Structure formats: structure tokens, C-alpha cells
Structure 1
Amino acid sequence: MCGLAGLLRPHADLDREHLLAIAASMGEAIRHRGPDDDGVWTDAAAGIALAHRRLSILDLSPLGHQPMASADERYVIAYNGEVYNFAELRDELLELGHAFRGHSDTEVLLAAIVQWGVRDAIARCNGMFAIALWDTREQALWLVRDRVGKKPLYYGWAGDTLVFGSELKALWRHPQFDNGVDRNALALLLRYDYVPSPYAIHVDTFKLMPGALLRLDAATVARGAAAHDPARDQQRYWHAGERMAAAIERPFEGDLDAAESRLDDLLRDAVGLRMVADVPVGVFLSGGTDSSVVTALMQALSPTPVQSFTIGFEGSHHDEAPLALQVARHLGTTHTELYVSGADALAVVPRLPAMFDEPFADASQVPTALVCKLARGLVTVALSGDGGDELFFGYKRYERALRNLKLLQRVPAPMRRWLARHSLQSVARGRGEASRAGGFAAFAAEMGARGIGDVYRNRIVRWRFPEAAVPGAVLPPTLYDQAEPLQGLGTPADAMMLADYSVYLPDDLLCKVDRASMAVGLEARAPLLDTHIAEFAWSLPLAYKRGDGGSKHLLKRVLKRYLPDAMVDRGKRGFGAPVSQWLRGDLRDWADALLDRQRLRDEGYFDADLVHGLWRAFLDGEKRWHTHLWNVLMFQAWHEHWRGQRDAAGEAIGLSSSGEGGL
């Protein structure tokens, strides 16, 4: 696991030393992602520079150093991630005449690209990765991201230069990166708690979509951000919606017993591949179904006790540590748990803007950061249970959305239209967020739904109408805005799981784990997100997932091969944080300062009266506004951090941001 950064200028007007200095600074900004080694490669005549930070996992020798050139010297790569099937690819390439100096997956990936070309080689890779690849023959840069979006990759324009990197921190280091806040992206943050791909918080800046690749050369860079359309220019080599549709049209034909055996085999393969490392490997264990099944398979495949890690919360009714301890004892893992107080958790909050260098408001980032720090004390790689909910019908909100869809379909069409108009009038009067408080307003807002996509979106959004809070914003579309995300194929449940798999999973859950783990130099791997498991899950009938025992029926059947029924059939407690309690208690002064009405007016991003009014209503006892306020606070804290970083960079090159200059 590593970090990458770089730049491509449309004109070869900088000497090698200048390019090296900029790229090295961009790489240094993300040294936490790769504390073991660093490297920079440039070609001044082409205006290209690649930087790399290495966290050594496979081939700890210098033979794994990056940026790395292919044997024929056509390609140079800076690569973040793991290709889990590299041994299989290596054997195939050896038969085709390739030779290898070391045993890193980077060298295998380069040989695969030489042999099959970029697109076909990537299609053969089973793994998590973000790649920057320079083709010296065609003078072209390829940016590539793994199928599900496990590893991040940002890119954008700093003046006339293309800049890219694993985190925005790297882009900030370029002396011309003075890109302000994109108000449309800010509105997305208020709606979802994160900024969905391909959007990013800065103007002229983007995320590469999961399963996408992007080819850029001097001519495309010279045309600038205004000519770039990520929906057109990012090419998908793998598309979750298309793959789910294909799986639905070719459904699994076996019975439930056959499906259980098949899933067990797939899980064993996926877990086994992700246990391969030249460093210690452990597992996050919460005691829930997903992490328990990963831990059980790890222990079944390991000749020695595996290291498992759990965070417990003092005085919390959401504490899962006792459940995790029961699972660990039954499986025989070497278990480490750490109980933290509210003060311990709150100490993480000031560090969040630096850890998540794009504003991010999923409050479970706090316990995630704590468990990653705990694990890093003993291992360098940790497996997680991410993906089980999105693939096996794991969220309670799925049931609620299906219930609401049935109710909606029972209301006569004329009544639905009247209620929908009433809801729109409420929005026009500035009371659109009242639908979050329940009652008639919530019922009326539901009536405008065109299909399961709209019904489900109403279950997951924070601000229903964030444009009202961000003057001048126009809300960009996401998959959640489609009435039928699966275009009518499959069931409404399939459509909801596709939307979460395509948006919520990469841009919230995987982003959270990536930043929290890489902040401490820990690699996190997610076996349930193996492509073979995903496509198998999509081929299953809903009854195999939503059985008599509730959600994740098939996954629980597999888990019962390793754990007693009583440890499997228990409710989900979640992995959250008591935000409302924090804002009324220890974080009140911090929040008061960030939500000060005059400060909000001076900064100009939010409707100060609306946001400050919600803060006062919350303090006066209205309970439902803490989630609305938390994502505003996360932006405010991030903006303060970003402004400080920008001022420091400006001083280094003789500039100042005292006039805000687009921010």
C-alpha cells in the first residue's frame, strides 16, 4: 500500500531539477501513506513527473522500489495498491517469456501491461489499486482506479498543469494549485455527508470513478478543465450496473445449500488471497456478521492464531466489544481490545480535517481512526468486513424503503400529485428540511417519488434541499437521483444495493477506511469486495439474502459453519458516534465558534441565518438536526485547515491568501 502523486505540463518549459522539486514536495505531503521508501521520476522533455511513497508489503527489498520502469522501458508506473492474483499472472507471463528480477506485484503488473496493453492487463487484475502510468512511446499518461474504488485517485488543473495524487494534500503542494471551493460539491456534501465521485470539493478538480481509466496527453491537458467532461473522458473498463444486470439475467440456479457451499468457497479464496504479505496481517473484528465471517475464514486458513482488533466504548449502549470477544475466544484468535472514553474519541475530532483532506462527515470516522491506530501497533495489514451490507441486503433502511414503496403504490395518483405539490410549496417557503422531522411533511415529501430510487434517496440523505443552504449551488446528479437505478431490471432491493455499491460504498465507507488506515501507515483489505463474490451475490435471488432470519441470510448460513447459532443470530448495533451528545457537551464551544452567524456571513458559503437557526433550534432541544449540523461543521473545520495549508504554501512561494482569492 502506498501513495502516488505527479504532474503533466502541456509545454516542456521546466528543467528536470524544477520538476523533481515539485514532484518530491507533492510526494512528501502523503508520506504517511508510504513511510518506508520514496522515489521521484521525471522526463523534462515531456513535462511529466511521478512521485511515489512506499509502504512495503510484498518484496521488501529495493527491487520493489517505485516509480518503476518496465523491462522494455516503454512504461513507468507509480502504483498504490495490491494485485491479489499477481502470482497467477506471473506464472502466465513466465510461460510467455517474461523474466522477473524480484517478486513484487508491481513488476508483474508492468509485464502484464507490456504483454496485453493497458486495458486488457487491468481487466485481468483482481485487486485494489490506483495507478499513474506514463507511456514513453505514445507520450501519454494513464490514470486507473480499481473496480469498486478501494483506492483513491484525484486529478485536476493547477493553472495550465495537470496534477494528480492519492489525496488532495499532494495537489495542494503544487505552487499553482489555487483552486477554490466548488459550491455544487459543497451541496453534495450536505446531502450525503461526502462528495461523490467524480466530483471533488475544489473547482477544476475531480475523482477518478471506480472501474475507470483516463488517458491524457499534452494536447488534452492544454485544453484545460473547461474542456474536460469526466462522464465522457473517463472510460469504464468495469461497470457495476452492467455487471449486476448481466448477473441478474444469468441467475444462480442452485438451491440454498448449493449457494452456501459456493459462497464459502469464494470467501475462502478471497480471504486467502488477501492474507498474502511479507509483513504481519490481522483483522478488524466488531462481532457483527461481516467482520466475523472474515475472521472465521482467516483463522480456518491460518496455522497460527490470527491477530484480531476491537475498539470498545466506555458507557455506550452501542458497544460491540463484548460480542467481538466472544467470537475471538470461540475462534481462538489472539485478540486485542481497547476501551476508549468519550474524551479519547473527542481528541480525534481536531485531527479529522488533516486526516480527511476533503470534507467528510460520516461520524464513524472517529472509531475507525481509533481501531486503525490500535491495529497498527502490531500489524501492517488488516482485513475488514466492508461490503457485506451492500451485497447481501444488510441495511435496515432497505426494509423501510420497501415498506414505503408499497405504501406509496397504494395511494391514488390524484392524491399523490396533490401531496407532492404541497411538499414543493413547503420547499418554496423555505421549509424543505421540515420533512426530516417526520409527520405530515415527511409523508407529503414521499409522494413525489417516481420510483424506488427516489424512495430510497429519501432514506439516506441528510439535507433534502442543500441548495437552500449553499447560495448559488446547483446540485449535480448522482446515481441516487435516478428513479430506477437498475433501469427496471431485478427487484427494487437490487436497485438500492446497486446505488449503495456504486456511490456510498466507495465514497463513504471505503474513503473512511482508506484515510483512517493510511494516516497510520496501515493497509486495509476487504475480501467481501472481491469481484467474484460481488458478481455471485448479484446472481442470487433476493430470498437467499432476505430470508426468514432477516438480512444477510446466506452470509449468516456460511458463518454458522464456524460459529454457534447464538453468536450469529443477534442484532446489528452499528459502528457510530454519539454526535448529538458531543455537540451539546464537550464540542459545544468548538461548534459555536464554527457556526457563529457573523463568521458564516463573512465566509459566504452558507445561508448564515438558515444554518445558525438550525444550531439554535438544536440547542433549544430539537433532536434531529445534529446530522445536518455535523456536515456543516466538518466543512467549516476542513476549510479552516485548508486555508492554513494554503497560507503556508503561499508564504513558501511568495503569495498570500489573505484576500481569499476564489475561496
Structure 2
Amino acid sequence: MCGLFVSVNFAGDRPAIDDATAVGLRDRLAHRGPDGAGLWRAGPAVLAHRRLAVVDLTDAGAQPMVSADGAVALVYNGELYNDADLRAQIRRLDPRPFASDCDTETVLRAIEVFGEDALARFRGMYALAWWDARRRRLTLARDPLGVKPLYYTEVGGEVVAASEPGPILHHPRLSPAPNLAMLSAYLTTIRTVLGEDTLFQGVLAVEPGSLVRFEEARGRVSRTVRWHWTPAPADEVDEGAEARTREVVGESLEAHLRADAPLCALLSGGLDSTILTALARERLDGLRTYAAGAPGGSENDDLACAAAVASELGVAHERAIVDREAFVQSWPEMVRAMGVPLSTPNETAIFAVASRLRADGCVVTISGEGADELFAGYAAPTVAAWRCSRADPEGAAGGLFQLEANAWVPLGAKRRVLREAALDAAGADAPLVERYQSWFAEAARQAGPFADPVEAHLRLLQRVNLTGLLQRLDSATMLAGVEGRTPFADAVVAHHAQGLPISMKFDPGEAAGAPGDAGGGVAVAAEVRTKIALRRAFRGRIPALALDRPKASFPLPFREWLADQSPALRRSRFAREVFTPEAIDAVSAAPGEHWRLAWPMINAALWGDVWWS
């Protein structure tokens, strides 16, 4: 895992920035790559890299990496899980020997041999950029599910890209400006990125499963976006689903264990992390596991359940305690370090456990993100979506339903929260509604003709929720210099899960017909079954405690702790410019009571003061 920075001056034959500037911007990513740094320049291009050494720890894996003829230069952040297979494919067309065991060399050689089509052959998590000197072409690309981030902008003929927004925004030719449409979207969705839009004007994200190509055309920079991965349609049969699920998940976990640096696993005591821990224990000697949580919890919280599962599995287990003081201290520190608001309160717990395991010498950790979105693990929201899909089987308002059902700050409350000028600049959220409606329609098309109507809702969650959770994991772990790996959030596992019929994922039971809140706040009957294929596949293979344990959304009691940061709202000039006095007063007086307002508003205030105080 690494950090990358790129600058290509399409307006000239020399770079637009000098080496000292490039090094300064690159080193804003030092936390992502504490083990090495590199810089390469030729013609109009500068590529820079910070390395976290995980596979082939020698200097042979240093970046930027350049082809033997000097025509292609690459910076790459991620891990390739089909490295051996891809090397065999390359050798059949290019017999030159490889100089290292590092997957970066495999990626570079694949680009030389297959061009952009190499991306369809990659199985892994990655964000990468390569410069083709012959064609004067820069290509940016990102893995199918968005495990690794990549941002870019264009200013005066110069394309600038980086693993985080910070290096881009500190570029001497750029002045950060808030994207108020995305700020309003963040208040509702707590997502700092939606599609290609970010919280900063002019700074875009490469979308998961896409590539962005830049070339000079008629004196201007031409940008082309192309998808290199598409989701799988749902099938109507479930024959062999349990065995195939067990096989696919086990194979993915094994592929994700490749590392030359110490590896451990995050363990919450829930279904997903327990499956991965049980599989990893069979393949690794001396596996260590880690959990994070608040002190003084119940016997059913993450800390207690994780310890019980670890004991039953016979693995060494440690914990990271996040108390009120640690939460209040790390929250603003993380916002300052990353330059964006936090998405969920759990981000502080991920950072705490990543810091703990890194201090113990671990560099790589396995984590369970992806199972809930791919295998339908959210009971109450999926029951609500089920009802919506029966009332609106054509999905005419499916996107709007998802937006409102999962809202932190409801659309209808925005005029009481945002000042008129800010809400007008956000288009009164019309672009946000249009985006969700469009995404829902696309999700329904991708689900295919055999899909249950609720499948489109699940796929929209994959596009929004899963991408956000993977971004959260990357941000919090990389801030501690740790590589987080997600065997469930894998292209092969995703295609398998997407192909399963809904009967192998979710059964609403009696709750399907019960009256309730369309927003997902209904009481869910015990008959509701989630992640059916996973539970069946691993029943009898993992501790019973984890098999049917209910999911906990926010293991930290953050509502009680919000008051310690609420004064930031009144202090923040940015908050006073965008939020109404009434909203600031209400949250400041009772942040715990108005926690759905308080969390995104306080985050926005902390973020705004990083850039515009």
C-alpha cells in the first residue's frame, strides 16, 4: 500500500512544477508510505511515490517504476492477488525475465503487453497512474469496488492526481474552494465522495471500476472516462450456492494473505470477521487478531464477543480501547490530517486499532468490509427496501426512497439547516436526487431480468455504502501506516454474490407485511434472515456465537460524546457562513438529542476550518 502523486503539463514539454515542490506535495502522503520515497521526471511528466513495503521488501519494488525502454512510467497503490497467473499470461507474449517478485512490476509489464485491457485482467485492490511518453497520454485507474482511492484535477493544461485530496489542494496553482452541492449531500449521506464529485470544487475522484485517460487534443486537454468492470446480473437458481460461496470466500481469503510483511486480522466477533479469522487461522501459524471498542460495554458488545470468538478459535487476541477522551482527541486530529470530514464515528475506532496493531509490528490486516452489502446483511434497511420494492416494483422512486430512508439530515430539513445561499448553491439538492434516481435505474438494469425487485436496492447500497466503507477503512488504516485488505470486497466474490438469487441472501419473514416506518426504523421480527448463503456455507465451521449474532451499527457510544466537540460549531467561521443560526443553536444546546444533525454538522465545521479558517 502506498501513496502516489502525479503532475503532467500538457501545455508544454517540461513539468509545471520543480522537484522541490513535487517532493513537498508527495510527502504529504508520508503516512501512506513510511518505507520509501521516489521521484521520476521526463518531458512534461512528474511521477512521485511513497512506499509501504508489503510484497518484495527489497529496493526492486521501489517506485516510480519505468519500462526498460523508458516509454512507460508507473505509480501504483495496492495489491495484485492474481500476480502469478498474470505473470504466466505475460510470459507467453513477452519472454523477458522479471527482475523482482513485486506486483508493481507485473502491473507495469501487463500495461506494456495489454495496454488498457490489462485492467480487466487484474484481480486486486489498486489505484494507479501511468504515463505513456510515446502517446503523451496519462491514464488513471481504480479497482472495481473502490478499495483504493484516487483524485485528480486539471488546471491550465496541467493534470494533477494523488491518493488523497491534500497534495492536490496544496499545489501552488490551486486555491481550495468548497463544493456546496457535495456539502449538502454529505449532510444527508455522510459520504465525502459520490460518484466523481468531492467536497472540493474542481477536484474529482476516479470512480471504482473506471479509467480516466488524458491526452492533448487541438491545444486542449482531452479527458475520456471508460469502465473496465461491470457488475454481474442476478441468476434465478441457487443450485450449489452454499458450496460455491464457501469456495469463493475461502479462495479470496487465501489470495489476500500474500505478504512479506507481518499480517493480522480485525475481529469484531460478528459473522464476517469471524469467517475470515477462522479461514486465516487454518492457513497461518500464529495469527493475531485485534478488536476496538469502548470501555465498560456489555457482554454482547464487540470487545466481549471478539474475545470469546478468539478464545474458541485459539488465536492470540488484543484490543484497542476507545474511551471518550480518545474519541474527542482523535476526531479533529483525523479531520486535519486527512483534510476531509469523517464519514462515521467508527472511523476513530479503526484508526485506534490500526495504530495499536502497527505498534505491535503488524503492517497488513484483514477486515470484513463488503459482506453486508454484497450478501444483504442489513436487516431493517433491507426489510424497508423490500416493502418499497413491492409497493413500487418498477422502481420509479427507488433512488429517492434510498436517499430518504438512509438520511442523516433529511432533504426536507435542509432549509432549517443550511443558509439560503448555501442551499441555492447546492441546487436545493435536485442534483443529489437526480443522481440517486439515475443510479437506481442503472442498478436495476445491471441486476438483469431474473432479479427480484429488491436487488436494485441492494446494488445501490453497494455503490454508495460499500464504496464509502472502503474509503473509511483505507483512510483510517493508512493514517496509521497499515494496509487494510478486504477479502469480501473482491471482484470475484462480488460477481458470485451478485449472481445469487435473493432467496440466498435475504428472507423478510413476517416483517415483509408488517406495518412500519418506510425509513427503515421498523421493529424487525426474529424471522428475518440475512446473509443466508454465508450463514449456510459456514454453519458448523465457525463458533456458534458469531453465526447468528445481530449486527451492531455503531459500537461506540458517540452520541454521549458529541457534546465535547459541539463548541466547534460556534467557533467555526465556516459553520456560521453555511449553517443557519437556529441549527447551530439547536445542536450546540443538545448534540446528543440531535445526533443525526450534530455528527455531520460538527464534522463540516472542523473540515471547513482546516481550509478556510
TM normalised by structure 1 equals 0.82
CA positional deviation for 1:592: 4.0
Partner of 1:308: 289
Matched, 1:452 2:398: yes
Structure 1's 462 and 588: CA in aligned 2 closer, same or farther, altered over 3 A? closer
> Are the aligned partners of 1:98 and 1:111 in contact in 2 as well (CA < 8 Å)?
no
Amino acid at match of 1:568: L
> Are the aligned partners of 1:3 and 1:165 in contact in 2 as well (CA < 8 Å)?
yes
Distance in 2 (CA, whole Å) between partners of 1:564 and 1:80 is 35
Partner of 1:325: 307
Structure 1's 313 and 549: CA in aligned 2 closer, same or farther, altered over 3 A? same
Structure 1's 61 and 533: CA in aligned 2 closer, same or farther, altered over 3 A? same
Structure 1's 493 and 133: CA in aligned 2 closer, same or farther, altered over 3 A? same
Distance in 2 (CA, whole Å) between partners of 1:371 and 1:169 is 24
CA positional deviation for 1:605: 2.6
Amino acid at match of 2:59: P
CA positional deviation for 1:613: 4.5
Aligned runs of 1:453-468 on 2, under 5 Å?
453-465=399-411, 468=415
Matched, 1:473 2:445: no
CA positional deviation for 1:315: 2.4
Aligned counterpart in structure 1 of residue 443 of structure 2, from 467, 486, 509: 486
> Are the aligned partners of 1:189 and 1:360 in contact in 2 as well (CA < 8 Å)?
no
Partner of 2:24: 25
Structure 1's 557 and 128: CA in aligned 2 closer, same or farther, altered over 3 A? same
Aligned counterpart in structure 2 of residue 383 of structure 1, from 349, 357, 366: 366
**130-139 vs 465-474, which moves further:** 465-474
Structure 1's 389 and 529: CA in aligned 2 closer, same or farther, altered over 3 A? same
Cα deviations by residue, 1:620-659 (Å, 9 ceiling, x for unpaired): x8x3x21222112111101111237xxxxxxxxxxxxxxx
> Are the aligned partners of 1:363 and 1:576 in contact in 2 as well (CA < 8 Å)?
no
> Are the aligned partners of 1:199 and 1:207 in contact in 2 as well (CA < 8 Å)?
yes
> Are the aligned partners of 2:574 and 2:608 in contact in 1 as well (CA < 8 Å)?
no
> Are the aligned partners of 1:314 and 1:342 in contact in 2 as well (CA < 8 Å)?
no
Cα deviations by residue, 1:71-128 (Å, 9 ceiling, x for unpaired): 332210011001111111112323331311111101111111111112x111000001
Distance in 1 (CA, whole Å) between partners of 2:338 and 2:103 is 28
> Are the aligned partners of 2:345 and 2:554 in contact in 1 as well (CA < 8 Å)?
no
SS at match of 2:365: strand
Matched, 1:335 2:335: no
Partner of 1:536: 496
Partner of 1:210: 208
Amino acid at match of 1:501: Q
Aligned runs of 1:405-424 on 2, under 5 Å?
405=388
CA positional deviation for 1:312: 2.8
Structure 2 stretches of 5 or more lacking a match?
Answer: 508-526
Amino acid at match of 2:483: E
Partner of 2:605: 636
> Are the aligned partners of 1:143 and 1:215 in contact in 2 as well (CA < 8 Å)?
yes
Distance in 2 (CA, whole Å) between partners of 1:319 and 1:170 is 39
> Are the aligned partners of 1:355 and 1:516 in contact in 2 as well (CA < 8 Å)?
no
User: What is the RMSD computed on CA atoms of the aligned residues?
Assistant: 2.4
Structure 1's 335 and 599: CA in aligned 2 closer, same or farther, altered over 3 A? closer
SS at match of 1:117: helix
Matched, 1:398 2:381: yes
Structure 1's 145 and 567: CA in aligned 2 closer, same or farther, altered over 3 A? closer
Structure 1's 383 and 15: CA in aligned 2 closer, same or farther, altered over 3 A? closer
Partner of 1:234: 225
**463-472 vs 283-292, which moves further:** 463-472
Aligned counterpart in structure 2 of residue 105 of structure 1, from 81, 84, 103: 103
CA positional deviation for 1:600: 4.0
Cα deviations by residue, 1:18-46 (Å, 9 ceiling, x for unpaired): 53222211111101100111111112x3x
Structure 1's 520 and 309: CA in aligned 2 closer, same or farther, altered over 3 A? same
> Are the aligned partners of 1:135 and 1:141 in contact in 2 as well (CA < 8 Å)?
yes
Aligned runs of 1:540-551 on 2, under 5 Å?
540-547=500-507, 550-551=529-530
SS at match of 1:634: helix
Matched, 1:173 2:170: yes
Aligned runs of 1:518-533 on 2, under 5 Å?
518-533=478-493
CA positional deviation for 1:173: 2.7
Partner of 1:618: 590
Aligned residues: 574
> Are the aligned partners of 1:307 and 1:334 in contact in 2 as well (CA < 8 Å)?
yes
Distance in 2 (CA, whole Å) between partners of 1:599 and 1:111 is 48
CA positional deviation for 1:467: 5.6
Structure 1's 352 and 183: CA in aligned 2 closer, same or farther, altered over 3 A? same
Distance in 1 (CA, whole Å) between partners of 2:602 and 2:155 is 27
> Are the aligned partners of 2:150 and 2:161 in contact in 1 as well (CA < 8 Å)?
yes
SS at match of 1:30: helix
> Which structure is larger by alpha-carbon Rg, 1 or 2?
1
SS at match of 1:81: strand
Amino acid at match of 1:149: G
Amino acid at match of 2:537: V
Distance in 2 (CA, whole Å) between partners of 1:599 and 1:328 is 46
**25-34 vs 157-166, which moves further:** 157-166
Matched, 1:562 2:544: no
Distance in 1 (CA, whole Å) between partners of 2:367 and 2:528 is 24
CA positional deviation for 1:14: 4.8
Aligned counterpart in structure 1 of residue 151 of structure 2, from 140, 149, 154: 154
Partner of 1:421: none
Distance in 2 (CA, whole Å) between partners of 1:498 and 1:369 is 28
SS at match of 1:28: helix
Distance in 2 (CA, whole Å) between partners of 1:513 and 1:454 is 27
Amino acid at match of 2:101: H
Amino acid at match of 2:538: L
**333-342 vs 23-32, which moves further:** 333-342
Matched, 1:499 2:460: yes
Structure 1's 528 and 128: CA in aligned 2 closer, same or farther, altered over 3 A? same
Distance in 1 (CA, whole Å) between partners of 2:331 and 2:251 is 38
CA positional deviation for 1:496: 1.5
Distance in 1 (CA, whole Å) between partners of 2:324 and 2:183 is 29
Partner of 2:142: 145
CA positional deviation for 1:347: 1.9
SS at match of 1:528: coil
Distance in 1 (CA, whole Å) between partners of 2:390 and 2:454 is 16
Partner of 1:3: 3
Partner of 2:571: 593
SS at match of 2:444: coil
Distance in 1 (CA, whole Å) between partners of 2:168 and 2:528 is 48
Structure 1's 588 and 73: CA in aligned 2 closer, same or farther, altered over 3 A? closer
Distance in 1 (CA, whole Å) between partners of 2:118 and 2:18 is 30
CA positional deviation for 1:544: 1.3
Cα deviations by residue, 1:326-345 (Å, 9 ceiling, x for unpaired): 11111111111233322222
SS at match of 1:349: helix
> Are the aligned partners of 1:26 and 1:173 in contact in 2 as well (CA < 8 Å)?
yes
> Are the aligned partners of 1:146 and 1:212 in contact in 2 as well (CA < 8 Å)?
yes
Write out the 4+ residue segments of structure 1 that deviate beyond 6 Å after TM superposition.
none
> Are the aligned partners of 2:376 and 2:505 in contact in 1 as well (CA < 8 Å)?
yes
CA positional deviation for 1:534: 1.0
Amino acid at match of 1:631: P
> Are the aligned partners of 1:614 and 1:629 in contact in 2 as well (CA < 8 Å)?
no
Structure 1's 99 and 543: CA in aligned 2 closer, same or farther, altered over 3 A? same
CA positional deviation for 1:200: 1.1
Partner of 2:519: none
